[in-house]
């Protein structure tokens, strides 16, 4: 409900705004938000740290990077023309193709003229007197805008491991999310990969093809499942194009906006034979079906979860020849699907190759990185290249990187000291005129689908503000408390919330990120949209507008 807000600003005349809105980030969300705000006739500037558009797909150029969602369910859906003009060449597109796609979008909608590249935002401070945001880039340039929209990504702040000696290594080393633009050859090289999350798995299966020797340093194995990627020929693309409206309608209807949605049956409502046959079917199908389209209770019921975990463990044992290695690759501390499921293409078979070694660093921890390689508690390895696939300071990490201050100079990091608190995952009390795209507590799932909704909602709010002459939009304490409680209640009973992962805000490499938090909205995407639609239909009266 409307809270008391300061009276109309008086300093505006002497302190003109450079823009109506500043967007931080030119990834999928920032690009689309720019397009929509321009349609409202707003003066918009996007600041982007990279040299090009694409965000995640700009930065993550590591070998083997690709979609785990079907390409045609991942692209933008808002423009019929765009859907007509773009052809996907694989069911799960590789990163270079996605980056080309996003550049194509930027060209088509002439986005670059409002995007300033090589411009990292260092700070953003709310100025109450002017009801605006003062944004400073890391080169000291300053800009002011009425609204600040963060489009900074969920997994965009990469983290290096806290291992002694990282800086002493004399060979080449790369974090997967800061991969060079030039090709890196592994031919005949001794290569180390640290990390076996979704990124590590994609990297390992690619590097193993050419490396002289590949040594994988695994701390925690993950439950991986086959991607079953295929090429898309012209005929198939024509069929996909004809079905686009069905594809996107289906994404709107499913729990997490994927083409897959949970089977209504419980794991033990079928016979053991039917259960096994269903698991086999899912294991043989492309994409996230085995995770997102499995029996409805595998992520909430321990016995159901054990059944699918046991099935996948058997698959790993069948696929890996050396059973001692197979046992190391089977997760023991979490069940299937309670962490993000990496999708793979012959990942397990990599460990049957003579040039690949798996090192279990829970058994023999890495003691230090040396100038020539890696020293564990029981051996010293020499490497030409070390690849860090060690993940991100997820969800709140990119916010922490910016000195973001709201009313009375309160830092967002402080505000979220005990975990994020938001209104609909979009706004924070004390941070007027700031809207987050893919902020904490929004529905993630198939991210572009969630992005499009998020952007539409923010656009609707700004359209309303402009037409009603509103210059200050803030979440209320009640609105934030109620949404935060709701998000927390949705997390109850989810097995994934009992597990350490980026989805529960854990990162062993970042100070202060060792306690699990509820970082994501875990209800259904349709329910999320219904709630946000209702807030808009009510004239945004849950917000303080002035
Ligand atoms: P993840 O899923 O966070 O994986 C990071 C991996 O790196 C994981 O295996 C970690 O082991 C490992 N790691 C992290 N720090 C260390 C140290 N210090 N020593 C050894 N191993 C370490 O990140 P990804 O980039 O793979 O994927 C992120 C998301 O991006 C993914 O879910 C997709 O949605 C896209 P741990 O499990 O913590 O023991």
| CATH for 488 | 3.50.50.60
- Tell whether ligand 1 has an atom less than 6 A from the beta carbon of residue 389: yes
Distance CA 113, CA 53 (A): 12
Query: Which domain does 249 fall in, by range?
Result: 190-388
DSSP label at 335?
A: -
What's the gap in Å between 328 CA and the centre of ligand 1?
17
Beta carbon of 514 within 6 Å of any ligand 1 atom: no
The residue whose CA has the least distance to atom 18 of ligand 1 is 161
In angstroms, the CA 48 to CA 54 distance is 10
**Residue that is last in its domain, among 388, 414, 439:** 388
pLDDT at 15 (0 to 100): 59
Same domain, 467 and 345: no
Q: What is the pLDDT of residue 65?
A: 98
Last residue of a domain, one of 388, 420, 447: 388
pLDDT at residue 153 in the model: 97
- Whole-prediction pTM value? 0.96
Residue 318 belongs to a domain:
yes
270 and 376 part of one domain: yes
Domain count within the chain: 2
Query: What gap in Å lies between CA 440 and CA 444, rounded to an integer?
Result: 9
Mutate which of 256, 389, 390, 392 to test ligand 1's pocket (most atoms within 8 Å of Cβ)?
390
Ligand 1 pocket, residue 149 CB under 6 Å: no
Residue 376 lies in a domain: yes
Is the same domain home to 251 and 381? yes
**Beta bridge partner(s), residue 50:** none
Residue nearest to atom 35 of ligand 1 (CA): 198
Region for 228 from its dihedrals, namely left if φ exceeds 0, alpha if ψ lies in -120 to 50, beta otherwise: left
Is the domain of 326 the same as that of 361?
yes
Q: What angle do CA 124, 127, 131 make, to 5 degrees?
A: 115
Range list of H helices, 115-243? 198-207, 234-242
Do 506 and 540 lie in one domain? The reply is yes
Q: Ligand 1: which atom is nearest the Cα of residue 155?
A: 30
Q: Are residues 260 and 306 in the same domain?
A: yes
Predicted pLDDT at 14? 42
Same domain? For 350 and 203 the reply is: yes
> Do residues 205 and 136 both lie within one domain?
no
| Secondary structure (DSSP) of 81-145 | HHHHH---SBSS-BHHHHHHHHHHHHHHTT-GGGEESS--EEEEEEETTTTEEEEEETTS-EEEE
Domain C-terminal end among 354, 388, 422: 388
pLDDT along the chain (546 residues), means of 10: 46 70 98 98 98 98 97 98 98 98 98 98 98 97 98 98 98 98 97 98 98 98 98 98 98 96 97 98 98 97 98 98 98 98 98 98 98 98 98 97 98 96 98 98 96 98 97 98 97 95 95 93 97 98 97
Asked, for residue 253, whether it belongs to a domain, the answer is yes
| Terminal alpha carbon distance of the chain | 12
The pLDDT, as a whole number, for residue 532 is: 98
Which atom of ligand 1 is the closest one to the Cα of 361? 20
Residue 185 inside a domain? The answer is: no
| Cα maximum dimension of the chain | 76
Q: Same structural domain for residues 45 and 148?
A: yes
Which residues, 6 or more positions from 425, have their beta carbon under 8 angstroms from its beta carbon?
Answer: 436, 439, 440, 441, 442, 443, 454, 483, 487, 521
């Amino acid at each position: 409900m409307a809270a008391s807000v300061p009276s109309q600003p008086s300093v505006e005349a002497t302190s003109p705004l450079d823009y109506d809105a500043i967007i931080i980030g030119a990834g999928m969300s920032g690009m689309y938000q720019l397009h929509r705000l321009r349609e409202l006739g707003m003066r918009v500037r996007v600041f982007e740290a990279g040299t090009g558009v694409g965000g995640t797909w700009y930065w993550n150029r590591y070998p083997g990077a690709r979609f785990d969602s079907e390409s045609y369910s991942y692209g933008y859906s808002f423009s019929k023309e765009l859907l007509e003009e773009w052809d996907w060449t694989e069911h799960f597109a590789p990163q270079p193709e996605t980056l080309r796609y996003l550049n194509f979008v930027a060209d088509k909608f002439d986005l670059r003229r409002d995007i300033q590249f090589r411009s990292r935002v260092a700070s953003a401070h709310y100025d109450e007197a002017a009801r605006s945001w003062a944004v400073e880039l890391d080169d000291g340039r300053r800009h002011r805008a009425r609204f600040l929209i963060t489009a900074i990504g969920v997994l965009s702040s990469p983290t290096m491991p806290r291992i002694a000696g990282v800086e002493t290594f004399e060979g080449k080393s790369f974090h997967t999310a800061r991969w060079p633009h030039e090709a890196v050859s592994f031919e005949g090289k001794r290569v180390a990969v640290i990390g076996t999350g979704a990124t590590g798995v994609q990297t390992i299966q690619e590097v193993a093809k050419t490396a002289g020797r590949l040594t994988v340093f695994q701390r925690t194995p993950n439950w991986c499942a086959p991607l079953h990627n295929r090429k898309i020929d012209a005929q198939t693309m024509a069929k996909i194009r004809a079905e686009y409206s069905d594809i996107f309608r289906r994404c709107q209807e499913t729990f997490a906006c994927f083409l897959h949605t949970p089977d209504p049956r419980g794991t033990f409502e079928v016979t053991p034979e039917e259960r096994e046959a269903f698991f086999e079917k899912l294991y043989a199908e492309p994409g996230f079906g085995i995770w997102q389209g499995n029996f409805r209770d595998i992520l909430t019921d321990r016995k159901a979860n054990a059944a699918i975990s046991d099935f996948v463990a058997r698959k790993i044992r069948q696929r890996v020849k050396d059973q001692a290695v197979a046992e190391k690759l089977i997760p023991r501390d979490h069940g299937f699907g309670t962490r993000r499921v990496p999708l793979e293409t012959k990942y397990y078979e990599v460990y049957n190759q003579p040039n690949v070694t798996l090192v279990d660093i829970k058994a023999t921890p890495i003691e230090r990185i040396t100038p020539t390689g890696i020293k564990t508690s029981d051996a010293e390895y020499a490497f030409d290249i070390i690849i860090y696939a060690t993940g991100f300071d997820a969800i709140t990490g990119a916010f922490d990187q910016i000195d973001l201050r709201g009313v009375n100079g309160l830092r967002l990091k402080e505000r979220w000291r005990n975990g994020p608190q938001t209104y609909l995952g979009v706004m924070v009390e004390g941070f007027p005129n700031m809207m987050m795209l893919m902020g904490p507590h929004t529905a993630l799932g198939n991210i572009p689908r969630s992005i499009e909704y998020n952007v539409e909602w923010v656009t609707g709010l700004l359209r309303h503000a402009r037409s009603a002459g509103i210059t200050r939009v803030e979440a209320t304490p009640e609105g934030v408390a109620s949404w935060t409680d709701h998000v927390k209640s949705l997390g109850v009973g989810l097995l994934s919330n009992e597990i350490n992962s980026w989805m529960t805000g854990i990162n062993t490499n970042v100070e202060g990120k060792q306690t699990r938090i509820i970082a994501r909205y875990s209800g259904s995407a349709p329910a999320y949209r219904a709630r946000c639609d209702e807030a808009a239909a009510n004239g945004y009266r849950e917000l303080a507008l002035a």
